[in-house]
Chain A
Amino acid sequence: MSNGFYEFFCPVKVVAGDAALEHIPFELGNLGSKKPLLVTDKGVRGAGLIEPVVAACEAGGVEVPLIFDDVPPDSSVEVVREIAQLYLNEQCDALIAVGGGSVIDTCKGANILVSEGGLDLSRFSGAGILKKPLKPFLVVPTTSGTGSEVTAVAVIADRAKGVKLPFSSGYLLPNAAILDPRMTLTLPPHITAATAMDAMTHAIEAYTCLARNPLSEAYAAAAVKKIAVNLPKVLEDGSDRQARLELAQASTMAGIAFSNSMVGLVHALGHALGAVCHIPHGVCMNLFLPYVLEYNLEKGTIREALGELLLPLAGAEVYAATPADSRAEKTVEVIRTLRDELYTACKLPRTLRETGKVEKAQLTRIADVALDDGSIIFNPAEASLEEVQALLERAW
């Protein structure tokens, strides 16, 4: 059951499938751009993922004279300023982000500065500060998990002040997201699994948390199905282009879903674990997902929604064979089985202990940080410190 009110917004053009990269020149032309600045990181460039983008542009009559490839894993205002200065000095007229969440967020920040002027990014931190469209911006994701190509937010660290600056505005959204199977073909199994489980968590939390709505439900359920069907295929054969494309689309769909209905306690815990123990976000999502679903289920808040997800997650036969009042529990069971398969395939941790990076003494700190995370507001059950600590003990 959805709420009596909702908002839904996604103006991003999705260009997906074989030879999607070859549409970039046309999209840039539509936006009046002739001199884009391509932004990426050294890992993406080292993996040879920039060549097909540049080649596709040049064959389509668009020169890409400038490539900034120095985006760090955790972006910062300094890097954003560097990119903005390069863009302005070279009189570029569009940005193309090729990479994962950090590259995309960095580009969103750079687009604020080159569009609004000045070099002080903190002036634009917060919700709804931007009041006009930014410069043309395309995103080519190289992972299938964050969904950043369709989210209206960015988080960029201001190291000098020791804070993370949040930005939220519909104007941060790119003009187009280019999903090409070539861009994720080289992702190793461990990262493929972790990022796919990040997308799975986006979809499941979008479907079960307080801001769920009919449109985000549709995207979320479709994303769950695509991940459940295609993640095992990709782990079996990493060169399966169709399955790779399905995962990329699932990630974008889950991104559309959660950016319009937010996420809950899995993300609150994941953000906290990431901050305290520096565990990658996708790993955190995979780890906490069943424990939080069980917790919310025990609190009686998500039974109907979680039961509905059994159909896209496990298919019609399993759904039909499971009594209606057991479908929510069965959904958790199927997720646990999937996690076991991922652990066998690529050692993706299922418990805090299995990460090998968490001390039991850190659990109180993780619970404490999670309680201050914004995502917790949207969790259907109200979680107290004691309950979060107990949940972490279960996940140990």
Chain B
Amino acid sequence: MIKKQQYAVQYAAKRAYVTTMMEVVGRALAALTREDPVARETIERLPEGFRFAMTVMPDGPGLMLRKNAQGVFVYEGAPRPGQKAELTILIKHIEHAFRMLTFQESTAQAFANDRMLVDGEIGYAVRLVRALNRLESIILPKLIAERAVKEVDDLPLTEKIQAATRVYGGVLKSLVDTGIKELSRQVRAA
């Protein structure tokens, strides 16, 4: 019984971590496509209005992005129940998502290990995986990035730091904007 409770606590902690990381990754991908021309080129072929979701089975957590008219991703939060995206990566279990988002298993290796399913055009999934790789190459220290991607993009250190700063800054700004919007909503409601 104690063991079962321990597992439950572990899974709850992992779910909390994955929920946070899904939001960070979603906002970071959006910031990356605003700041990095390589990432923008990677998603160039996705049509305007294209929605990409990554979610954990059976009911989240997850993230949803939409490509806007300027050719960059906009973070839309977690997918709502029943909401469809043009491309959804379905991670089969919270444990698999935790391994991916703690960079114990690269996205490509997670695909190879059948940790997830793709619902949508596989060519688009390839591009999204490439965008995720680019993100991890930029925002993670090289030692960690080497575990997260097959090959870390070879950026000069100063360029990497500048790019990472811009992405992290974008995430922060997006969090603050969302916080302000939420606060205003609550004030209006009150």
Residues of A bordering B, CB below 8 Å: 3, 5-7, 126-128, 166, 209-211, 261-262, 299, 371-374, 376-378, 380-382
B126's partner among A128, A261, A377, A380 (CB-CB below 8 A) is: A377
Q: Is B111 an interface residue (CB 8 A)?
A: yes
Which A residues lie within 8 Å of B127 (CB)?
372
A sample of 28 inter-chain contacts (CB < 8 A) reads A3-B109, A3-B112, A3-B113, A5-B113, A7-B114, A126-B119, A126-B120, A127-B119, A128-B117, A209-B112, A210-B112, A211-B112, A261-B112, A372-B45, A372-B126, A373-B122, A373-B126, A374-B126, A376-B126, A377-B125, A378-B108, A378-B111, A380-B150, A381-B150, A382-B108, A382-B133, A382-B149, A382-B150
Q: A210-B112, A373-B126 are in contact. List 12 more A-B contacts (CB 8 A).
A: A127-B118, A210-B109, A211-B113, A372-B123, A374-B122, A374-B126, A377-B111, A377-B125, A378-B111, A378-B112, A380-B150, A382-B133
- A127 contacts B114, C-beta separation under 8 Å: no
- Bound Cα distance A209, B108 (Å): 11
Dominant secondary structure at the A interface: loop
- Bound Cα distance A5, B119 (Å): 23
A371's partner among B125, B126, B149 (CB-CB below 8 A) is: B126
Please name the residue on chain A nearest to B109 by beta carbon. A210
A166's partner among B114, B122, B150 (CB-CB below 8 A) is: B122
Please name the residue on chain A nearest to B119 by beta carbon. A126
Q: Is B151 an interface residue (CB 8 A)?
A: yes
- B108 contacts A127, C-beta separation under 8 Å: no
B66 to chain A, nearest CB (A): 21
CB-CB nearest 7 A-B residue pairs: A211-B112, A372-B123, A382-B151, A210-B112, A374-B122, A382-B150, A7-B114
- Bound Cα distance A230, B156 (Å): 52
Q: Mark B114-139, 1 if CB is under 8 A from A, else 0.
A: 10011110110111010001000000
- Bound Cα distance A376, B122 (Å): 11
A223 to chain B, nearest CB (A): 20
Please name the residue on chain B nearest to A9 by beta carbon. B114
Which B residues lie within 8 Å of A380 (CB)?
150
- Bound Cα distance A6, B110 (Å): 10
B136 to chain A, nearest CB (A): 12
Please name the residue on chain B nearest to A368 by beta carbon. B45
Please name the residue on chain B nearest to A268 by beta carbon. B126
- Bound Cα distance A233, B126 (Å): 41
Task: Take A127-B119, A128-B117 as given contacts and tell me if A262 and B112 are in contact as well, using a CB distance cutoff of 8 Å.
Answer: yes
Please name the residue on chain A nearest to B117 by beta carbon. A127
- A210 contacts B117, C-beta separation under 8 Å: no
Please name the residue on chain B nearest to A261 by beta carbon. B112
